[in-house]
Copies of this chain bind each other. A is one copy, B any other.
Amino acid sequence: MAQKPSIPKGTRDFGRLEMAWRNYIFDTVRSVFKTFGYSQIETPAMENLSTLMGKYGEEGDKLLFRILNSGDAFSGVDFDKPLASQVCEKGLRYDLTVPFARYVVQHRDEISFPFKRFQMQPVWRADRPQKGRYREFWQCDVDVIGSRSQLCELELVQIVDEVYRRLGIRVLVKINNRKVLSGLAEICGAPDKVVDITVAIDKLDKIGLDAVKAEMLEKGLTPEAVALLEPVLTLSGTNAEKISVMRSLMAGSEIGLKGLDELEELFGFIGQAGISTPCEIDLSLARGLNYYTGAIFEVKALDWEIGSISGGGRYDNLTGIFGLPDMSGVGISFGADRIYDVLTGLDKFPDSLAVSSTLLFANMGETAYVLPVATALRAAGIAVEIYPDSSKLKKQFDYADHKGIPFISICGETEAAEGLIQIKNLASGEQRSFAKDDVAGMLGFLAA
């Protein structure tokens, strides 16, 4: 009566090599975050539904995984009323942002602001699973909260620059500012049309200027407004030139000018910090419009076709929903799964990640003889295995091959009697013989 084992759709097991590759991404991201002084935190997988509900829109609420109350969840339930909310009080984390906001408010008295934190944990969404979209996936978020300085935005751009430099992925950083978008809508006399304007700008490459103008008219913008926006639609040149064109256009909008000041300061810092990754203003960027209030970021891989691999922005009121107003912050999220896909596609994972152990002592029944040698090599930081059974050598070699172990040592009675350790480089075929206590010699051979 054996069950056929499987896992829930949209979830994944990660084996040896996948873990080595994933950890390479996480370790790289983490070590960059740390050189900028960001501290890691973790929050529980389960949050109270009252914390999560209403934060991701109606659609988001539907995608929350709810956890049945423990004990007898259905006792005392009113079956004439909606059941889910009566039998579930907890849900799985849907993103890292809302739990972070909850964390900041709950721990405000222990935190020294500005609070620079990062968080790398799985999140769960009851989305329809499809290629590249999972029900359990990992987010790596880095945020600083409690400062309005554009140096915070700069730091995130520096982090992006350094992370992708280390990973060997060429990227483009697209930068926009929500206040500039508000300013554009304001000068058009249509402050409620921010999204329509952004969507239209975004289509420029695909459908051309005339079609975009037609679409804007259709959306209810006046011909005067569309004429006003034309210089923005055809914006080109350096970032400074773009800002200059918009500044003359936006003279009448206080919020628009504020946005341009922010962009100008940020690009000034980017120049001073000597960032080599290309950064450009892109007015069509409008991610998460509902909560971003300043800078908006998106990072594209230049050599691999995929959506954005990092993104974020500034929010002025993230913690307001939990009772802590006026706490401005800015953050960016690294999409581990997409970065994984890019590194796989570009074949950029270092070969060394495939190696699990450096040396396998084959089991010739003389394990007592090699035990102290294995211990000495491990003490020097070398990953060493002793094959546990005295199986056929073919099987032991296959094991080394399957695990990507580059060196094998075959020591039988003869070697034990002579006090020798034989080590063979499986790739080159070179074989060397060492005195049992010549650990330094072995280390040299294994490092070659």
Contact B5 A322 (CB under 8 A): yes
Q: How far is the CB of A146 from chain B (nearest CB, A)?
A: 9
Q: How far is the CB of A430 from chain B (nearest CB, A)?
A: 22
Smallest CB-CB separation from A30: which chain B residue?
B23
**Whole-angstrom CA separation of A392 from B69 in the bound complex:** 50
A242-250, A285-293, A295-303, A382-390: which one contacts chain B?
Answer: A382-390
Known contacts A6-B48, A7-B44, A371-B272, A356 near B37 by CB under 8 Å: yes
Interface residue from B44, B324, B360, B386 paired with A12 (Cβ < 8 Å):
B44
Interface residue from B8, B66, B151, B363 paired with A47 (Cβ < 8 Å):
B8
Contact A105 B384 (CB under 8 A): no
Which residues 350-384 of A sit at the B interface, judged by CB distance below 8 A? Answer: 356-357, 360, 363, 367-368, 371-372, 375, 378, 381-384
- Range for the number of chain A residues in contact with chain B: 35 or more
Contact B323 A388 (CB under 8 A): no
Number of copies: 2
**Whole-angstrom CA separation of A41 from B124 in the bound complex:** 19
Interface residue from B5, B106, B122, B320 paired with A13 (Cβ < 8 Å):
B106
Residues of A within 8 A of B (CB): 2-8, 11-16, 19-20, 23, 34-37, 39-48, 50-51, 62-63, 65-68, 70-71, 73-74, 79, 83-84, 87-90, 92, 102-103, 105-107, 110, 112, 114, 116-117, 122, 124, 126, 135-136, 144, 147-149, 151-152, 155, 158, 162, 268-269, 272-274, 320-324, 356-357, 360, 363, 367-368, 371-372, 375, 378, 381-389, 398-399, 402-403, 405
The 10 closest A-B pairs by CB, nearest first: A2-B323, A70-B126, A11-B44, A112-B402, A149-B388, A37-B385, A37-B357, A16-B39, A147-B388, A66-B68
